[in-house]
Amino acid sequence: MEITVSSDLSIVARELGLPVDQVQRTVELLDDGNTVPFITRYRKDETGGLDEEQIRKIQARSAALRQLEERKQTILKSIESQGKLTEKLADKIQKAPTTKLLEDLYLPFKPKKQSLATQARQRGLEPLADEVMAGNEAAADLPARAAAFVSAENDLPDVAAVLQGVRHILAEEFAENAILRGRLRKLMWKTGTLVTLRIEQAADASDEKDHHDDEAADNESETPAAETAAAETVASAESQTPDADQSSSTAEPSAAESNAPEPNAAESSETASEAEATPAPAPPAPAAPAATIDPKRRALQEQRRDKRRKQKDRERSKKEKAFKDYYDYREPISKIPHHRVLAINRGDRTRFIRVKIECDWDRLFALAEETAIPADHSQTDFLKPCLRDGLQRLMLPSLEREIRRELTEHAEEHAVDVFACNLRKLLLQPPVSSRRVMAIDPGFRSGCKLVALDQFGSILEQGVIHLIGPEDRVARGRQRLIEMIRQHAVDIVAIGNGTACRETENLVASIISKDITDREVVYVIVNEAGASVYSTSELGREEFPDFDATVRGTISIGRRLLDPLSELVKINPSNIGVGLYQHDVKSKHLKETLDNVVESCVNYVGVDVNQASPALLSYVSGLNQLTARRLYEYRRQNGPFTSREEFKKVAGFGESAFVQAAGFLKIRDGENPLDATWIHPESYEVAEKVLAKLDATIDQVRTVKPVEAATPAPAPVAEPAAEAPVVEEPTTESPVVAETPATETVEAETPSTAAAEPAVTEDVAAAEDAATTEEATAEEAVTEEAVAETSAEAPVETPPTPVKSEVPSAAHAELVKKIAGVSAPEFAAELEVGEHLTRDILNSLSRPGRDPRADFPPPLFRRGIMKLEDLRPGMELSGTVLNVVDFGAFVDIGLHDSGMVHISRLANRYVSDPHEVVSVGDVITVWVVEIDKDRRRVSLTAIEPGTEKAIPAADEKQRVDRPERAKRPPRGKNRPGGNKPQHAGHGKPKAKTFVAKSKPTPKKPISEAMKEGKEPLRSFGDLAQFLNQSQKEEKEKKKPKGK
């Protein structure tokens, strides 16, 4: 198979607005096996300085066009093997610009299953159908001509059977007409409306199914052991009733839907309704007679059944509330936003709503007749029913599925893009250096896990305290936390945002304001999404083999604050939860995109090879998991790397891997100062020439001068704890009786000092993550005896690594002054190297070891706590952006539930995409607009009160801010701008393959009531008519009378 690369690249260049030679060089670099981060940083002179986003677009678009070429070759071979390939058809296939048109051309020749049309062809009726379609004179008297095909052997007993078979063939031919499909597709996009209706049978069928499930569950065990287990289950459930419906529903209906099943997407709603309405088979009769059943056990069974019913009723009610806005909803398919498409799809999958597409059927059938049936055709009366049958039975259902599939694909792509954008902002949050952290994983039943970490992330001590239970135990926990903060000189308390987060926050805020006022201690809420996944992963067990899973999760919470990037790369990106309906998109596409984001962030920041974990190393350009593991093992066995050339000693680290990865792996305090910079080893010679021309030495590259040698920082894997891991056993205490310790609320600080947590709470699609966290918490149980033993044991102490004392290097400061007076283009010409390379070398010499995250604003911290009752409309607050979605941004202002800034309140102007204004992690000033205490919702605005632009009245709405647009040129055949996406309902170019011309639709005149303003105008066409008539009337008035 031969692929025309030059034509592909010209298409890519035209779409991206780049020179062809620039695109060609980039594709050649990609084809040679170079990674995108490597090309972006170290091949700028070859690509002309393209950024990473442009290179990835070139990579994706060129791959898509190559797949299109491969598909064309496959289709041509398939049609040729059938003996039906003509030069005209081959030319159309070769010139097809999109996959959609290509598949339309291939549809008549695609192998099909047995259909009515194929059966008619097998009976020999295709020649007669061709005569009718062509309008031959032989078929002028159709019944007489059909009589010649009557044959009992072919199961054609009479003329009616022959004509019916001909109708089936013609209906299929109409349905597979590429020109007709294209026109009807365009019209459906333009006039189609997505309609959703409630499925009433869902609740009834679910109730009946639940009843049978309860009967089966109650009768499945009759042994004494089962009776004991049932008693324990009921007792435990009674003492540990969870707080129901604590999470408020978000602005989008599907936010509350956390455990949606994943049935087949193509399953029809009618089949779903029938399946739901079918009752489950009757359960088998119990083994023992009813008279022999113990009354106590019968009572326990009734209690258990009642609990299950209540739980299912709560879940059903939650789902009904989530989708109530879509029980009778309609919106044009050309205007429906992406997040609403995903919400409707989720409701369709959960069988609460039925989805269909409606359009102007009369207009559609009229267009079909104009396109497919010539006006002077002799068999018009016979062809029209065939055409209608082909549309209703074959083409329109296919186009409806295609439109829904295309809506879903674009919505999923948008959701993945939103997730990727938010994830990048989250990963590039600046680290908190030189601060000791107390990490807390909150919990009610199993208690709050505490881990004290030094500034390098090494464990100093661990423990468990409880927020509920006897007063003396709560008081002991409070004192334990105070002692650990003082003993280890903790600077920041990092609290996970899971269950009991705000109760823990109350405790910490009270301690800061009352018990440790002599210390400058602050706290911050950290997103713990994915911490439980890491704690039970192979990597987590390898890093901390002697610690319990709960302790590993707490360590992850603390380390996320110290270095977010290094810690979050250990977790599957899809579990971080900063996306838009990430559980409704294809996992493969999501994983590939998010992995690219993580790879981009890791290589953008660079990696300290002597401190990085295997998970972090695996994302470095040119490395995979195996090579990263070998690099890590080599470092553990032979000590820290001292030179980049030493990488070649690692097994499997060949020349190719060295070229791709060496520049991103930095060695601080190595033998060669250039090993700590972004300069690639292949450019060391050029860098030395630059230093020589600057009359400087290589030692001047060091930014700091060490005063005292110090022990290097510990390896990422901490030493095993001296104490035994916490033993988890079932507990009998009830978390419902939550006796929260009395705390004095500290008033909110002013916006200049009020801090916001860099937590990332996903209000649109993280209900699943929250449910997972709650389940994990519910499984953790620690007895009082185990807690007492843990508190009594000696703390796990790891001596803090001494920090190297350093002073600024005067020699490097002198080098920076010399570089400031240098012209990069002149240096590049003298050294005969690329200008981009010279500029990068000069920047690296002036700022070696630079962490780009240092340019971002650091996180803000809190000392006090905010309550919903403290808020007032108009109050000014500072908050951290947690998540950015299509309809606005969720902002953490210190409450249990985040506030919502609608897209219309993000800026004092029109905002089409919230990402244009805010990003995840941004600290912004907001004002309270509205407080809904019943649903615990807070509406915020980023526009200062009193500065909002007045919205003009309906009769005053004019485009006063836009200069008058020049008169639009007439629409012609050669009108430019034909490369617009075909999924839109408007603005599409007319396909050149369409030969038949449709007659213009007559305009419906406006009524007198519309002219007088008593009735609203229906469209812009009505408005044009009104203006034209008004202008004519004015001209008539100006004409002199009598002429």
Residues 270-283: tens digit of each pLDDT: 333 333 333 444 44
Instruction: State residue 947 phi and psi, 5-degree precision.
Output: -110, 5
Q: Is 515 a residue whose pLDDT tops 80?
A: yes
User: Higher confidence at residue 554 or residue 433?
Assistant: 554
Classify residue 930 by its DSSP letter: E
Give the pLDDT score at 1000: 46
* Residues 263 and 346 reside in one and the same domain: yes
Q: Is 528 a residue whose pLDDT tops 70?
A: yes
Please name the residue that has the structure tokens 């894997």.
Answer: 717
Question: Is 858 within the bounds of a domain?
Answer: no
> What domain count does the chain have?
5
Q: Which helix (H) or strand (E) holds 2?
A: none
Give the pLDDT score at 396: 93
Q: Is 789 a residue whose pLDDT tops 60?
A: no
CB proximity list for 344: less than 8 A, separation 6 or greater:
194, 196, 326, 353, 355
Highest-confidence segment of 424-428, 490-494, 1033-1037: 490-494
Question: Is 152 within the bounds of a domain?
Answer: no
Question: Is 321 within the bounds of a domain?
Answer: yes
Classify residue 937 by its DSSP letter: E
* Residues 449 and 352 reside in one and the same domain: no
pLDDT tier at 730 (50, 70, 90 boundaries)? very low
pLDDT digits (tens, 9 = 90+) for 16-46: 999 999 999 999 999 999 999 999 999 999 9
* Residues 945 and 1019 reside in one and the same domain: no
Give the pLDDT score at 120: 93
3-class secondary structure for 181-244? HHHHHHHHHHHCEEEEEECCHHHHHHHHHHHHHHHHHHHCCCCHHHHHHHHHHHHHHHHCCCCC
User: Higher confidence at residue 443 or residue 1029?
Assistant: 443
Other beta carbons less than 10 A from residue 238's beta carbon = 12
* Residues 104 and 212 reside in one and the same domain: no
Percent of the chain with pLDDT over 90: 35
Average pLDDT for residues 894-907, to the nearest whole number?
82
Last residue of a domain, one of 729, 758, 792: 792
Average pLDDT for residues 515-529, to the nearest whole number?
88
Taking Cα atoms as reference points, which of 649, 611, 652 lies closest to residue 632?
A: 611
Give the pLDDT score at 1040: 59
Q: In this structure, what CATH number is given to the domain that contains residue 441?
A: 1.10.150.310
Give the pLDDT score at 1020: 66
pLDDT digits (tens, 9 = 90+) for 862-890: 666 666 777 878 888 888 888 888 888 88
pLDDT tier at 60 (50, 70, 90 boundaries)? very high
Contact 441/449 with Cβ under 8 angstroms?
yes
Q: Is 802 a residue whose pLDDT tops 50?
A: no
* Residues 1013 and 938 reside in one and the same domain: no
Query: Residue 1027 belongs to what domain range?
Result: 1008-1038
Q: Is 220 a residue whose pLDDT tops 60?
A: no
Q: Is 473 a residue whose pLDDT tops 50?
A: yes
User: Higher confidence at residue 542 or residue 778?
Assistant: 542
Q: In this structure, what CATH number is given to the domain that contains residue 928?
A: 2.40.50.140
Average pLDDT for residues 135-160, to the nearest whole number?
89
Q: Is 989 a residue whose pLDDT tops 80?
A: no
* Residues 930 and 1012 reside in one and the same domain: no
> Helix, strand, or coil here: 355?
strand
Average pLDDT for residues 799-813, to the nearest whole number?
53
Lowest mean pLDDT among 238-247, 374-383, 526-535: 238-247
Last residue of a domain, one of 949, 968, 1000: 949
End-to-end Cα, the chain, rounded Å: 77
User: Higher confidence at residue 926 or residue 251?
Assistant: 926
Give the pLDDT score at 863: 64
Last residue of a domain, one of 792, 819, 845: 792
pLDDT tier at 860 (50, 70, 90 boundaries)? low
Q: Which helix (H) or strand (E) holds 453?
A: strand 448-453
Contact 586/412 with Cβ under 8 angstroms?
yes
How far apart CA 900 and CA 888 sit, in angstroms, is 7
Mean pLDDT of the chain: 76
Give the pLDDT score at 579: 67
* Residues 710 and 641 reside in one and the same domain: yes
* Residues 337 and 455 reside in one and the same domain: no
Taking Cα atoms as reference points, which of 495, 513, 502, 522 lies closest to residue 867?
A: 502
pLDDT tier at 646 (50, 70, 90 boundaries)? very high
pLDDT digits (tens, 9 = 90+) for 690-707: 998 888 888 888 865 444
Lowest mean pLDDT among 407-411, 606-610, 810-814: 810-814
Give the pLDDT score at 658: 94
pLDDT digits (tens, 9 = 90+) for 932-963: 877 778 889 988 887 877 544 444 444 444 44
Question: Is 761 within the bounds of a domain?
Answer: yes
Give the pLDDT score at 78: 93
Question: Is 115 within the bounds of a domain?
Answer: no
* Residues 783 and 876 reside in one and the same domain: no
Give the pLDDT score at 5: 35
Model pTM above 0.85: no
Other beta carbons less than 10 A from residue 327's beta carbon = 15
Question: Is 743 within the bounds of a domain?
Answer: yes
Give the pLDDT score at 1038: 64
Question: Is 830 within the bounds of a domain?
Answer: no
Backbone angle region of 742, left / alpha / beta, with phi > 0 → left and psi within -120 to 50 → alpha: beta
Average pLDDT for residues 320-349, to the nearest whole number?
88
Give the pLDDT score at 732: 32
Q: Is 509 a residue whose pLDDT tops 60?
A: yes
Contact 571/502 with Cβ under 8 angstroms?
no
Lowest mean pLDDT among 377-386, 697-706, 763-772: 763-772
User: Higher confidence at residue 635 or residue 259?
Assistant: 635
How far apart CA 802 and CA 711 sit, in angstroms, is 7
* Residues 918 and 1020 reside in one and the same domain: no
Question: Is 387 within the bounds of a domain?
Answer: no
* Residues 645 and 733 reside in one and the same domain: yes
Average pLDDT for residues 991-1001, to the nearest whole number?
40
pLDDT tier at 469 (50, 70, 90 boundaries)? confident
* Residues 912 and 781 reside in one and the same domain: no
User: Higher confidence at residue 636 or residue 317?
Assistant: 636
pLDDT tier at 1037 (50, 70, 90 boundaries)? low
User: Higher confidence at residue 572 or residue 750?
Assistant: 572
Lowest mean pLDDT among 423-432, 754-763, 914-923: 754-763
459 vs 324, 617, 936, CA distance in Å?
49, 22, 38
How far apart CA 661 and CA 652 sit, in angstroms, is 13
pLDDT digits (tens, 9 = 90+) for 246-303: 333 333 333 333 333 333 333 333 333 333 333 444 444 444 444 466 788 888 888 8
Give the pLDDT score at 1014: 65
